Chain A
Amino acid sequence: MARILGGIGTSHVPTIGVAYDKGKRSDPDWAPLFAGYEPVQAWLAKKQPDVLVFFYNDHATTFFFDHYPTFALGVSESFPIADEGMGPRAIPPLKGHPALARHLAESLINDEFDISVWQDLAVDHGVHSPLTMFWPPAPDWPGRIVPIEINVLQHPIPTPLRCFKLGLAVRRALLSYPEDLKIVVIGTGGLSHQLNGSRAGFNNEKWDKQFLDLIARNPKKLAAMRHADYIRLGGTEGAEEIMWLAMRGALSPRAKKIHQNYYLPMTTAMAVALFEEPVEKAVKAAKRPKMAKRARRSRAAA
């Protein structure tokens, strides 16, 4: 059966990808950001997940307002890198996992999450700006991704609670996938920032730190808040934090935050947090005989 090893919450500001592409690791203005991703990269290199499931938002790049999906799942073999006005970044196209993605679509829809599905469309910096910091694509990506797009651009956007519930449903779907896959779930966006009006440039470090604490300890409290609260506390684009809630919903309540970094150089608070699931060796050993007994019983009944 598929297993969820842990999760990652990360900002997805385009400049994170630009700093990577321009090799700014030793530039003092960027070094604290690179350093913050090193433990995440090391953890992934050690755990070797097969698939990263991404909750992210498109930035009116691939999807346009003539039809802007609330939740949309990428089910194809490959996802090109989007052109956002200057040509695509020079990184390989992302590899999908169609079998897992189809299973997710079936499971989510049967679980009353009527998600749209898409194939072959490009993904923008909402996925790959942070990705290169912890999953370097040289010579090619170390594994596959399943992207789940969430509308955080055009209100009405899904509620924080709905996004948390989406995470719970994605967890049920992933854990019911029969193949032995190792999966890490990722939520991108935030933290505090606003990109419009005279309030543009707004940040709130106190709220950001509180969010980083609550997302680990008490995500239900975050899920119960309204968008107006997120916007007041974290700016209009702080609403992106609902994608962290989807990620957190896909983890068990016992998942532990083992690393975090916070860096606020310019307009957007750049954060990354790494969560690890407890290893359930004892539980597994206890469950096995019971399942075998049940299987014998059902065979006998048949």
Chain B
Amino acid sequence: MNGQLKGVENLEGTHLFDLAASARALRLNRFLHGLTVPAKRDLFKQNPDAAFEQASLSAEERRMVRDLDWVALIRYGASFFLLEKLGRVKGVSNPEIIAAFRGETLDEFLKTRRVPGAR
């Protein structure tokens, strides 16, 4: 156990990205990282199944990406910062992803914010 992190396990609703998560989701994260490369991004936009096939994603990995199941993706071990790139490609904003993590609609989430227009 990393002594620097002792106590974090008691924080509710927190998924720390550590080496275990990184190893578990390496293939998925590598696919998401590919979205920074225009050719791979275009393939995903035009033919997601071909892009999934190229990245050898499992059936569940494909489902989570296809459905933009943010909660399942982050639990699985996707890095938020790679989900952010998926969001950009799919036209989903960070507040929408954060709202999904919280189990809220975007409007519900924005009501908890000081400046809902600042997005």
Partners in one complex: yes
Residues of chain A having any CB pair with chain B under 8 Å: 14-15, 27, 29-30, 59-61, 64-66, 82-87, 153-156, 159, 194-201, 226-228, 231-232, 236-237, 264-267
For residue B33, give the distance in angstroms from its CB to the closest CB of chain A: 5
Is B35 in contact with A85, judged by CB distance below 8 angstroms?
Answer: yes
Selected A-B contacts with CB under 8 Å, 19 pairs = A27-B117, A61-B36, A83-B37, A83-B38, A84-B88, A85-B84, A85-B85, A85-B88, A154-B22, A155-B19, A196-B74, A199-B12, A200-B13, A200-B98, A201-B101, A226-B4, A265-B114, A266-B115, A266-B116
A-B contacts counted at CB < 8 A amount to 145
Residues of A within 8 A of B82 (CB): 60
Residues of chain B having any CB pair with chain A under 8 Å: 2-8, 11-19, 22, 26, 29-30, 33, 35-38, 41, 74, 79-82, 84-89, 94-95, 98, 101-103, 109, 112-119
- Closest A residue to B33 by beta carbon equals A64
For residue B17, give the distance in angstroms from its CB to the closest CB of chain A: 6
Contact of A196 among B101, B109, B119 (CB under 8 A): B101
For residue A270, give the distance in angstroms from its CB to the closest CB of chain B: 9
**Measured CA separation A66–B2 after assembly (Å):** 21
**Measured CA separation A61–B80 after assembly (Å):** 12
Contact of A200 among B6, B11, B101 (CB under 8 A): B101
Given contacts A29-B118, A66-B30, contact A197 B15 (CB under 8 A): yes
